[in-house]
Structure 1
Amino acid sequence: MEQLETFNVESPDAVGAKTTKILIQDVLADLSLNRVIGRLKVFVDPVEPVFIFTALLRLGTPAIRLKDFAKIEMGSLGKDEIKIELQREAFTVKLLNKLWEKYGKESLEQPDKKIIIVKVDPVKEIDELRELVIEEPQQEVLDRLIDAIALRIIPEGFRVRKHELSTSYVLFVASEDTLKPEWIARAKDMLESMRSEKDA
């Protein structure tokens, strides 16, 4: 497991804190999420009952756009088409699926495995095609992280939840009961304390 800069689990129940920490470590390791969390603080109180999960994230990989792995230019003179010349073929299947979804199969030709012709108005579509997102690694990681927290980490029965999510942090507050304002305030304080430690 890649070492977290901070990993604290607080609880009035010492055994519960230790068990929760082991559970979180196992879940993060199982889903290969260790590297995306830099700092992690959790508070759990089974008597209240409340579970607070806050983490600062370290997501590195930005979205992959068509322009990142292909040359996009006007097609043959006098024709309404755009020529895509693939420089790397790793994303071909995802690209074709996106193009079929956006323009329909009848609008595409693939005369060569590295060439795709899209029959559309090039003036209107060329800039949009260059920026077309083919893969969003950050979003896939965030989806896995939310599933891990919501389905595997938060105690069963804690169905009342509030969460905030961005590419830099995640915050979850969960309980069996109505969420108290002081729990949400505590979660925000935990998040701010991790940010302060990081900046120090």
Structure 2
Amino acid sequence: MDALETFIVESTVQSEADAYKSIVADIITELVLGGAIGRIKVRVRPEDSLYLMAVILRGSQPKVKVSDMGSVDITNQITKEVTISIEQEKYLPELLEQLWAKYGRAGVRQPERKTLIMTVEDLDNDVEELRNIVVADPQKTLQSRLVEMAIRSTPEGFRVRYHSLDGHRFVFAASEDILKPEWIQEARNIAEELMEDE
């Protein structure tokens, strides 16, 4: 796990703070979130059945388009063939899924692992469209992993939950009871405090 700039766990029961810190650290490691999280603060108030978490992310990753992972070129004007030459294979399965959905499995040939050939209708439009296909959105993946981390670290029975990701700030609140608006605001305030620590 990458070293976090700030990692604070507060609890009105001090012995619980250390236990929660260990649990959260283990989950961050399991979900490989150490590189994405810069600062994290957790506040636990058992007397209110309240669990709050605020996370400041190190930075966001841009969406990955086909043009980021390879080149798209017209290879035959007459037969209207377009070739995608892959340089980064990481998202190749996701790209194939999207191409099969658009052109059908029979419409996508793969003579080599890093070469995909399609016959298209409109060369210019399809080439531009192919270059701009989004094959991965790391921000969405990151958000789902943050939510999983928060839920897994929440005390048993805290089924009423709230979360939001706004830019580099992730806030989470959970309780056994109905969440009060001031609790959600408290989670946001914790995120603000973490931002001020920059």
Tell me the TM-score normalized by structure 2: 0.88
Alpha-carbon distance, 1:15 to partner: 1.1
Q: Is the 8 A contact 2:147 2:163 kept in 1?
A: no
Whichever residue aligns with residue 23 of structure 1, its letter is I
Point out where structure 1 has 5 or more consecutive residues left out of the alignment: none
| Aligned length in residues | 197
1:147 aligns with 2:160: no
Backbone CA RMSD of aligned residues: 2.0
Tell me the TM-score normalized by structure 1: 0.87
Whichever residue aligns with residue 128 of structure 1, its letter is E
Q: Is the 8 A contact 1:72 1:130 kept in 2?
A: yes
String of CA shifts for 1:129-179, please: whole Å, max 9, x gaps: 1011223334333322221211x1011111111110145121111111111
Point out where structure 2 has 5 or more consecutive residues left out of the alignment: none
1:57 equivalent in structure 2: 57
Alpha-carbon distance, 1:38 to partner: 0.5
Alpha-carbon distance, 1:88 to partner: 4.4
Tell me how far apart the structure 2 counterparts of residues 52 and 140 of structure 1 sit (CA, whole Å).
Answer: 22
Q: Secondary structure at the match of 1:143?
A: helix
Whichever residue aligns with residue 21 of structure 1, its letter is K
Deviates more, 1:109-118 or 1:29-38: 109-118
Alignment of 1:101-120 (within 5 A): 101-120=101-120
Q: Is the 8 A contact 1:62 1:136 kept in 2?
A: yes
Alpha-carbon distance, 1:34 to partner: 1.6
Alpha-carbon distance, 1:2 to partner: 2.2
Q: Secondary structure at the match of 1:53?
A: strand
Alpha-carbon distance, 1:81 to partner: 3.1
Whichever residue aligns with residue 132 of structure 1, its letter is I
1:73 equivalent in structure 2: 73
String of CA shifts for 1:49-91, please: whole Å, max 9, x gaps: 1110100012454332211232212241233332222344554
1:32 equivalent in structure 2: 32
1:165 equivalent in structure 2: 165
Alpha-carbon distance, 1:102 to partner: 2.3
Whichever residue aligns with residue 57 of structure 1, its letter is L
1:122 aligns with 2:123: yes
Q: Secondary structure at the match of 1:68?
A: helix
Tell me how far apart the structure 2 counterparts of residues 89 and 38 of structure 1 sit (CA, whole Å).
Answer: 28
Whichever residue aligns with residue 185 of structure 2, its letter is A
Whichever residue aligns with residue 191 of structure 1, its letter is A
Q: Is the 8 A contact 1:59 1:138 kept in 2?
A: no
